[in-house]
Structure 1
Amino acid sequence: MAEEKLTDTQKADSYTAEDIQVLGGREAVRKRPGMYIGSTDYRGLHHLVYEVVYNSVDESMAGYCDKINVIIHSDESISVEDNGRGIPVDIQKKTGVSALETVMTVLHAGAKFGGKTYQVSGGLHGVGASVVNALSEWVSVEVRRDGNLYRQQYREGIPEAPVAIVGESCGTGTTTTFKFDPKIFNDASYDFKTLTERMREIAYLNKGLEISITDRRVDKEQTYYFEGGITGFVRHLNHNRITIHRLPIAIYKKVDSSMVEVAIQYNDGYSETNFSFANCINTQDGGTHLTGFRSAMTRVINDYAYKNKMVKDSDPSIMGDDCREGLVSIVSVKLPEPQFEGQTKGKLGNAEMKSMVESVVVDQLALYFEEHPDEAKKIIDKVLTSARARDAARKARDLIIKKNSLDGGSLPGKLAECSEKEPSLCELFLVEGDSAGGSAKQGRNRRFQAILPLRGKILNVEKAAPDKMLSHEEIRAIITALGAGIDDDFDFNRLRYHRVVLMTDADVDGSHIRTLLLTFFFRHMSKLIANGGLYIAQPPLYRIKQGQNERWVYNDAEKEEVLKEFKGKSVDIQRYKGLGEMSAEQLWNTTMNPATRTMLTVEVEDAVGADATFNLLMGDQVPPRKAFIQAHAKQVKNLDI
């Protein structure tokens, strides 16, 4: 029988079992690393370290480890050493190889599933070690156990030889050394500050655990040990603030195989600072444990205030927002089977944790108030002040809404709207001053670019009560133009522009206004930042021209390079301090045209550090800010006074 030949179309339309590509665990991880560590950029690179550290932290939470050492070697390899029990090295029946090799090469293999070895654990649930192995150029694991020192080495996730005894050991533990694969992580380098901040966070969450980190590239070392645990974390967050009560309130209870730990302390500010954790994983989007905590706070404060007749008839009802104004809190839970939403573990989903946290906090906080009436009164007075200010702010907000409805839902009069109505295609430029605003309005693409000029300095919301903030004309204009609300009421689905661009002058005033705007967005529209919707425009500093050859440069280093390229005397250099000095065409070509512009995306890698920085730079306390300026004065470049 003649062989039937398929046409190209028939070949394309055929879909059989042969078309299905089956990837083993290692190949799947190397082909799609983002599915396991989020990305292959700066964040994913550091996530490799966290995953190995989490394995040691699991030993600590199980009660077998009290020291972890992290070393950044000169070749960018990482060592993580602990004094836990050491990974078992005997043969695992199902795989037929050692338990160590199984853990390092088989996805979803480990001691975290049965609940016998680790009742509580973090990390990627049995894939952490194998994922790090698969994404590394090489890995070496040494296990100290049973008086022996065992070693096994891997290359790109594949064992080079079986586990071997290489000597005797004193004590027990595991040392994992790995070098990320440069084919996956291009031009990668570890940031000591990023790693130290995460190690400090882990040490706070596990009192009695000592974590040291050494950077042998530059000879730096840092050790963290906090006997007080998360109460020390709260004190650290409040160290530049004026607190309402001297010591943080500590709440702790073990319920069956789970644990609830909370620390709270109020300051005289207006922003809430909260960090929640589940099994030492930072749940940036909260979850059931945070919901239970907030419900408990509102309930206890209301009960105590009304029971002790501290609320006047003229006072507004105490709401959750009032109870959280000026509150710094850490909520940490440890549980056997955490259910996270998404691989990045941004939100805890265990329903039982809401009632558990709420019950523990209600019981212990109510008891604390009864035993410390003076501190309870200070807290209730702070909450009632917040409630009154919030009521005034609500009236101001209602006035804005009413005015808009009377005007037919009008937007700010100075807003130059774009014609496009699909938010994902639209961008709003917040521009410093009417002059620059005029140039931006003339030079923009009217189809998708809207312009909102801002007059004068924006209010510093770090030091402003909610009613004062909402009465500020420029802040109201921004909120109204974006249309998504603020704080907990912020709704990304109502956002009128999915890209918001801060465009200010390249001088001291412009930098100050940009910082004020960043403070507002960080404190009141953090979801916009989290969704990658906030940008900073990068207007050029210089125009360098020689004859018909014109170049725009953005910093002094680039200027020197261009001047080397432009040889000769007839070079014209123009320094632009303000956006208004550029024509509409120049502003479009250099700063607003998507094809030629450079913009920075605002991201919050370290929420703890960002909170501390905004408070330091924009808060009430002058001495810490003065000390910061003095310490960093010599690092300032391009200071325009």
Structure 2
Amino acid sequence: MSQTQYTEDNIRSLDWREHIRMRPGMYIGKLGDGSSADDGIYILLKEVIDNCIDEFVMGAGKTIEIKIDADKVNVRDYGRGIPLGKVVDVVSKMNTGGKYDSRAFKKSVGLNGVGTKAVNALSSHFKVESTRDGQTKTAEFSTGELTSEEQKESTKRRGTLVSFSPDSTIFKNFRYRAEYVERMLKNYVYLNPGLTIVFNGEKYVSKDGLKDLLHDNNSIEDFLYPVIHLKGDDIELAMTHSRTQYNEEYHSFVNGQHTTQGGTHQAAFREAIVKTIREFYGKNYEASDIRKSIISAISIKVMEPVFESQTKTKLGSTEMGGGLPTVRTYINDFVGHHLDNFLHKNSETAEAIQRKIIQAERERKELSGIRKLARERAKKASLHNKKLRDCRVHLTNLKNDRRLETTLFITEGDSASGSITKSRDVNTQAVFSLRGKPLNSYGMSKKIVYENEEFNLLQAALNIEDSMEDLRYNNIVIATDADVDGMHIRLLLITFFLQFFPELIKENHLYILQTPLFRVRNKTKTFYCYSDEEKAKAIAELRGNPEITRFKGLGEISPNEFKMFIGEDIRLEPVMLDKALSIEELLKFYMGKNTPDRQEFIIDNLKVELDLVEENE
């Protein structure tokens, strides 16, 4: 039996652009199509903006202009401009960048000379233009390969312009969603007071940093007391408690990087709050009672931070650097001193916090018996849980480069869950089957989550009872039919998440699965169409008399076909919150005692964007 030859010819070395294009996940996390906030197209944008932010931090250039027109992105800063002799190298030679010189970038966040190279390699067209000393140097690339460069005299203001178009052969059917871009830009301005970002003509600026972040992400009516806002040299924090929310909510940042998975700084912050409050009241309150319903943000600056993944979503560093104590000691000392001082000076806030803790303690004791029973039930059920068909990779597997693809489909009825289960990717896609319509949880207390078997099992599957940090899936996708019953189930599920886990929606984890309405085909080609416009286009392209099938429900779509709709061409519609309305108002509008007309209006009009509410109040 002949063996496969293994010679020098089998070993080839990829150049930098081939490597990035072949293994994009190593550089930018998941690809996606722009329906999720952590999809690759937003990481590309972020990498370019991070360089502009580093210029601002160095005191060069207070304005960044960003324009996104369909697939073309322009980012212009007014910093120092890339040194003209290095313009090509900086965007096309690995490990070339200014961030190795720690004098220039003490607390920088960029990808150590990889960032713009990844953007360049993954763009069908990429252009960089640097202006300084009365000269402009321009270089253009296609998929990372240099196509032209020129240098000439110029009267333009100094700085750097980068424009790129993500490569549609890598990012399939992508589109930039303004909501996600705006959120990213707002985070930049909260963390950099004095910076102005102009996006498609709209100006973003922040006066009060992290305090503005809490105000912009919530309705002020939901706050139990005015936001506590504390600042130090390398630290800033803002916190309040929610009247309506059950879980803890943290927004954490290191050197301007949004650490969505938390890390050592977030753990230290949680610990410091508990320690300070216990000492202030002289009572050994339970940690979970102190932190229940907290809404907070923390930002720290660290020398040479160590992150646990390439996309920098979790801080691993334990040291602050620069002769400062450890991250944990630094945060504990700061919170211990400043929060304690604040509470001594603001007795109304101190009393509101104590009342909240006592209420949380009472609720926890009331729930403890039923919680114990529910946990035992969930444990038994999970051994033979027919509702959940789990996947192999979870969001908590930080070392796995597919963790951001992890998805839980919530389906109704056996036929739909059967189709999805047979056609899913068992590594990253799990299925949770509902039996009929879930309970309307509007106005109910947390007790119902433990008493209702379906909700209890869903909470256990997601693993979010105690903290969002343990969430097992990045995407939670409601997969129901697009008829009135399916719409009603969507509403009931959105109500459940809004009522008990609103941060899942705030953090963009909840989606609606879009499935095709029509299949248009002839003997050689098949099109799946999601709208009447797409159907008309497909009919025009196929000419003649193609066969048209109208899909009424998910159960009608065969598992083989389903593969197409939950694979790389999956179309998801994010469920988003309208911050102008409190969660209570939203729930009241959707699930309160509405007239039948209004119920009908909601079912007719509900796609997913919850800002419909505002328009129709």
TM-score norm. by structure 1 comes to 0.72
Of residues 141, 150, 153, the one that matches 1:155 is: 141
- CA 1:168 to 1:520, structure 2 compared with 1: closer, same or farther past 3 Å? same
* Counterpart-to-counterpart distance in 1, 2:148 and 2:518: 60
3-state SS in 2 of match to 1:13: coil
> Is the CA contact 2:505–2:576 (under 8 Å) kept in the aligned structure 1?
no
CA change 1:441–1:346 in 2 (3 A) is closer
How far off its partner does 1:346 sit? 1.6
| Counterpart position of 2:341 | 367
Residue 199 of structure 2 is matched in structure 1 by 213
1:373-417 CA-partner distances (Å, limit 9, x unpaired): 111110121122112212322221113346789xxx46799x867
Write the letter of the residue equivalent to 1:202.
Answer: Y
User: Are residue 60 (structure 1) and residue 56 (structure 2) matched?
Assistant: yes
Q: In structure 2, what residue type is equivalent to 1:469?
A: V
Deviations 1:256-277 (A, max 9, x none): xxx1111112220123332111
The amino acid across from 2:54 in the alignment is D
**2:43 aligned to which of 21, 42, 47:** 47
2:282 maps to which of 306, 319, 323: 306
Question: How many aligned positions are there?
Answer: 558
Mean alpha-carbon deviation: is it higher for 503-512 or for 20-29?
503-512
Q: 1:519 to 1:365 in 2, by over 3 A?
A: farther
Query: What are the within-5 Å matches in structure 2 for residues 468-617 of structure 1?
Result: 468-476=448-456, 478-479=458-459, 482=461, 486-488=465-467, 502=478, 504=480, 506-508=482-484, 510-518=486-494, 520=496, 588=555, 590=556, 593=559, 596=562, 612-613=577-578, 616=581
Which residue in the other structure is 1:223 paired with? 203
AA at the equivalent of 2:12:
Q
Q: Which residue of 1 aligns with 2:307?
A: 340
CA contact (8 A) 2:63 2:197 kept: yes
1:78 to 73, 77, 95: 73
Closer/same/farther in 2, CA of residues 337 and 514 from structure 1, 3 Å limit: same
Q: In the alignment, residue 102 of structure 1 is paired with which amino acid?
A: D
Residue 281 of structure 1 pairs with residue 273 of structure 2: no
Change beyond 3 A, Cα 1:241–1:594: farther
CA distance in 2, matches of 1:613, 1:602: 29
Q: Secondary structure at the match of 2:222?
A: coil
Kept in 2: contact 1:535–1:600 (CA 8 A)? no
Secondary structure of residue in 2 paired with 1:85: coil
SS of the residue corresponding to residue 98 of structure 2 reads coil
Instruction: Quote the offset at 1:344 in angstroms.
Output: 1.5
Shift of 1:614: 9.1
1:584-632 CA distance string (max 9 Å, x none)? xxx75x15846547766999x999x967359958534679989xx99x9
SS in 1 for 2:279: helix
Asked if the contact 1:139/1:177 (under 8 Å) is kept, the reply is yes
Aligned-pair distance for 1:73? Answer: 4.5
Match of 1:389 in 2: 363
In 2, Cα distance between equivalents of 1:183 and 1:429: 27
Q: Give me the whole-angstrom Cα distance separating, in 2, the residues matched to 1:595 and 1:9.
A: 40
Question: Residue 235 of structure 1 corresponds to which residue in structure 2?
Answer: 215
Match of 1:29 in 2: 20
Amino acid corresponding to residue 207 of structure 1 in structure 2: P
Quote the residue 1:310 is aligned against. Answer: none
Task: Please name the residue that 1:176 is paired with.
Answer: 162
1:127 aligns with 2:127: no
CA distance in 1, matches of 2:224, 2:467: 24
Distance 1:489 1:50 in 2: 24
Give the deviation of 1:225 after TM superposition. 0.7
Letter aligned with residue 276 of structure 2: V
Deviation per CA, 1:127-159, whole angstroms, max 9, x where unpaired? 11222223334433333323x132121223344
Query: Conserved in 2, the CA contact under 8 Å of 1:141 and 1:177?
Result: yes
Structure 2 residue aligned with 1:253: 232
Compare 370-379 and 37-46 and name the one that shifted more: 37-46
Which structure has more RCO (C-alpha within 8 Å, separation ≥ 6)? 2
- Range with bigger deviation, 369-378 or 158-167: 158-167
Rg: which structure is higher?
1
In the TM superposition, what is the alpha-carbon distance from 1:205 to its structure 2 partner?
1.7
Q: Check if 1:351 corresponds to 2:342.
A: no
- Cα distance, 1:330 vs structure 2: 1.3
Q: Secondary structure at the match of 2:365?
A: helix
| SS of 1:619 mapped into structure 2 | helix
Alpha-carbon distance in structure 2 between the residues aligned to 1:512 and 1:348: 41
Instruction: Describe the SS at the equivalent of 2:441.
Output: coil
The 1:386/1:594 distance shift into structure 2, 3 A limit, reads farther
2: CA distance, partners of 1:142 / 1:296: 46
- Spell out, residue by residue over 1:235-271, the C-alpha distance to the aligned partner (whole angstroms, 9 max, x if none): 112226432113x1112112xxxx1111112220123
Query: Secondary structure of 1:102's match?
Result: helix
Please tell me whether residue 201 in structure 1 is matched to residue 190 in structure 2.
no
Distance 1:182 1:560 in 2: 23
Change in Cα spacing, 1:342 to 1:395, as seen in structure 2 (3 Å) is same
Q: Deviations over 1:476-517 (max 9, x none)?
A: 35456x495733399689x9xx99985656445542432442
Q: CA deviation at 1:65?
A: 2.4
Pick one of 266, 271, 291 that aligns with 2:241.
266
What displacement does 1:209 show? 0.5
Residues 465 and 298 of structure 1: CA distance in aligned 2, closer, same or farther (over 3 Å)? farther
Q: Are residues 400 and 164 of structure 1, via their aligned partners in 2, closer, same or farther at CA, if it must alter by over 3 Å?
A: closer
1:95 maps to: none
Task: Supply the distance in 2 between the matched residues of 1:45 and 1:395 (Cα, whole angstroms).
Answer: 47
Indicate the SS of the match to 2:252.
Answer: strand
2:21 alignment partner AA: R
Q: Please give the secondary structure, in 2, of the residue aligned with 1:514.
A: helix
Q: CA deviation at 1:39?
A: 3.9
Tell me, yes or no, if the aligned pair for 1:459 and 1:472 is still in contact at 8 Å. no
Q: Confirm or deny: 8 A CA contact 2:21 2:121 kept in the other structure.
A: yes
Contact 2:131–2:137 (CA under 8 A) maintained in structure 1: no
3-state SS in 1 of match to 2:350: helix
What's the offset of the Cα at 1:279? Answer: 1.9
Report the 3-state secondary structure (helix = DSSP H, G, I; strand = E; otherwise coil) of the residue aligned with 1:71.
strand
The answer as to whether partners of 2:239 and 2:296 remain within 8 angstroms in 1 is: yes
Deviation at 1:349, TM superposition (A): 0.6
Deviates more, 1:261-270 or 1:392-401: 392-401
Structure 1 counterpart of 2:353, from 367, 379, 383: 379
| Structural mapping, 1:131-146, within 5 Å | 131-146=118-133
User: What is the CA-CA distance between 1:234 and the residue it aligns to?
Assistant: 0.8
Candidates 10, 14, 32, aligned match of 2:6: 14
Structure 1 pair 366–19 and aligned structure 2 pair: CA distance change class (3 A): same
| Unmatched 5+ stretches in structure 1 | 1-7, 90-97, 215-220, 308-316, 545-550, 580-586
Q: Find the residue that maps to 2:137 and give its secondary structure.
A: strand
Query: Residues 267 and 160 (structure 1 numbering): CA distance in 2 closer, same or farther, change over 3 Å?
Result: same
Q: Which residue of 2 aligns with 1:313?
A: none
Identity among equivalent positions (%) equals 27
- Indicate the residue corresponding to 2:82 in structure 1: 87
How far off is 1:175 after superposition? Answer: 1.9
Q: Which amino acid aligns with 2:345?
A: E
2:439 aligned with 1:457: yes
Rounded Cα–Cα distance in structure 2 between residues aligned with 1:56 and 1:365:
34
